[in-house]
Structure 1
Amino acid sequence: MQLRWSRMMPQLALAPAVAVTFVAFIGAIGWTAWLSLTRSRRVPEYEIDWSQWTRQYERLFNDAGWAISLHNLVILGIGSALAIVFGFILAAMIDREWRGESFFRTVFLYPLAVSLIVTGAAWRWIFNPQLGLQNFLHGLGFTSVSFNWLASPETAMYAIILASIWQSSGFYMALMLSGLKSINTEIWSAARLDGVSFWRLYLEIIIPMMKFTFITCAILLSLGVIKAYDVIVAMTNGGPGNSTWVPAYFTINALSAKSNIGYASAAAITMLVITALIFLPLVLITTWQQRRANGGSR
């Protein structure tokens, strides 16, 4: 009896967490999905008109603002992927240079300690033509240089991408550095003895061995891009116009500015579907690669 009770204790300890997860997470998703099928506006309505149950979604996909949000999501995702590239380069530089490693690791990780709101505010100041980088360069005599990116719909999104890369590169550097540290030192010695060039060593040996690290970074990057909101609000608040809207900003704007719960719920459920379409394939690839690696090692 005592042995059976000891086996049940972990399940009993996890029961409150499972209950909270089921109610707060799965329940919230179900509630949001239900509201997205109703005519809810300022106040939730729970009656569904089954003859027009896709009304909110049809309106959503005919909305020019949502199309802009999806377009910016793709741009932000592609641009932010450079953070993984820079993170790997920084990790490789630190990994091969032992002296001062702790100092440089701290310097590159420092932006991670800053919230996205503070990051956005800092970069908004940097792109301010009267106070920031443009004013500094004009003072040095480079009067033809223009860094007023946030004022133009064509360049505002790229300014946000630059701020996002600066803020997250240190995090990916830390992940890449841990991956590089896990590689057997004999591989480096054998490559050096065989005369393998620097580029071939990394492209044909090191990077393939770190595929799980790269997939992990890709998963974390995709989740961060889809829920991007803070840095948008801090830098542009969606402007100029709606040129820097992303799905998360569009959803919050539909809920707060337009006071349309049903419409915001439809946007939120669509975001969930987008997350699943990006996240699940990466998880399945990781699982398949791990099983393949474990099968090959037996």
Structure 2
Amino acid sequence: MAIRWSWASPRIALIPALTTTAVAFLGAILWTIWISFTRSRRFPEYTIDLSSWSRQYERLFNDSSWTTALGNILILAIGNALAILFGFILAAMIEREKRGEGFFRTIFLYPLALSLIVTGIAWRWIFNPDLGVQNFLRGLGWESANFNWLADTRTAMYGIILASIWHGLGFYMALMLAGLKSINSEIWSAARLDGVSLWKFYTEIIIPMMKFTFLTCAILLSLGVVKTYDIVLAMTNGGPGTSTWTPAYFVVNSFGARGNIGYASAAAVIMLLMTAALFLPLMLVTAWQARRREERA
């Protein structure tokens, strides 16, 4: 009886959490998918017109604002990938130079303590031509200095990327540093004795050994990019025009400003599919690599 209770008790304890997940998470997803096939506007309607069930999706992919949002996601993904690269470089530098490791780790992790809203506001001040870098440079005599990126449709996204990299750099550095510390110290000693160049040592030995760390960073980056909203709201509020809209911003705008819950639900469903398309392959690769490692062990 004691054995049976020890088997059943943890499963009984999980019932409230599983119920909450099923109702609040899976239920909300199914509800959103259903609403996306209806003609719902400010208030939800639950009748699906089979003659025009794809109406919201057809409107969505003919909307230039949605096309801009999808393009911006690609730009954000490529730009924010630099945070992983720079994070690895910083981690390698800190790992090689042991002195001051705690100090530099704290300095680079500090931006992570700030919310994306606060980060966005701070960087909006930095890009402000009357208060930020442009005003400072012109005060030094560089009259042609132009750092008003957020006012230009061609450079506004790059300003958001710069702020995003600053915010997330310390996090990826910490992950990379943990990965570097997990490598056997004898490998470092053997490479030095064999006279392996620093470039070959990292590109041919260290980076392949850290593939799981890079995969983890890629998964977290992809999830963060798809749901980018806070920093866009704080820095540009989607402007100039719609040049910095992202899918998450599009969803909130469709529901809040346009008052169209069916249209917003269709965009949210596409966001869900994008997340699954990015997340699931990376998870499958990670699981496959982990299984191969276990089989070799």
TM-score normalised to the size of structure 1? 0.99
Quote the residue 1:148 is aligned against.
Answer: 148
Quote the residue 2:268 is aligned against.
Answer: 268
User: Number of paired residues?
Assistant: 297
SS of the residue aligned with 2:41? coil
* Structure 1 residue 24 displacement after superposition: 0.4
**One-letter amino acid of the structure 2 residue matched with residue 54 of structure 1:** S
SS of the residue aligned with 1:81? helix
**One-letter amino acid of the structure 2 residue matched with residue 148 of structure 1:** N
* Structure 1 residue 3 displacement after superposition: 1.8
**One-letter amino acid of the structure 2 residue matched with residue 204 of structure 1:** E
Deviations 1:168-194 (A, max 9, x none): 000000000000000000000000000
Matches within 5 A, 1:187-206: 187-206=187-206
Matches within 5 A, 1:41-80: 41-80=41-80
Quote the residue 1:2 is aligned against.
Answer: 2
Deviations 1:200-226 (A, max 9, x none): 000000000000000000000000000
| Higher mean displacement: 287-296 or 252-261 | 287-296
Matches within 5 A, 1:117-266: 117-266=117-266
* Structure 1 residue 262 displacement after superposition: 0.3
Quote the residue 1:106 is aligned against.
Answer: 106
Deviations 1:124-176 (A, max 9, x none): 00000010001111111122221000000000000000000000000000000
**One-letter amino acid of the structure 2 residue matched with residue 218 of structure 1:** A
Give me the whole-angstrom Cα distance separating, in 2, the residues matched to 1:97 and 1:8.
52
Quote the residue 2:94 is aligned against.
Answer: 94
* Structure 1 residue 296 displacement after superposition: 2.3
**One-letter amino acid of the structure 1 residue matched with residue 11 of structure 2:** Q
Quote the residue 1:84 is aligned against.
Answer: 84
* Structure 1 residue 5 displacement after superposition: 1.1
* Structure 1 residue 55 displacement after superposition: 0.5
Give me the whole-angstrom Cα distance separating, in 2, the residues matched to 1:101 and 1:198.
20
Give me the whole-angstrom Cα distance separating, in 1, the residues matched to 2:23 and 2:49.
26
Percent of aligned pairs sharing the same letter: 70
SS of the residue aligned with 2:37? coil
Give me the whole-angstrom Cα distance separating, in 1, the residues matched to 2:142 and 2:280.
49
SS of the residue aligned with 1:258? coil
Unaligned runs of 5+ residues in structure 2 are none
Quote the residue 2:20 is aligned against.
Answer: 20
Give me the whole-angstrom Cα distance separating, in 2, the residues matched to 1:67 and 1:186.
51
Q: CA RMSD in A?
A: 0.6
**One-letter amino acid of the structure 1 residue matched with residue 160 of structure 2:** I
> Within the alignment, does 1:40 sit opposite 2:40 as a pair?
yes
Give me the whole-angstrom Cα distance separating, in 1, the residues matched to 2:161 and 2:143.
25
**One-letter amino acid of the structure 2 residue matched with residue 164 of structure 1:** S
Give me the whole-angstrom Cα distance separating, in 1, the residues matched to 2:278 and 2:143.
44
* Structure 1 residue 288 displacement after superposition: 1.1
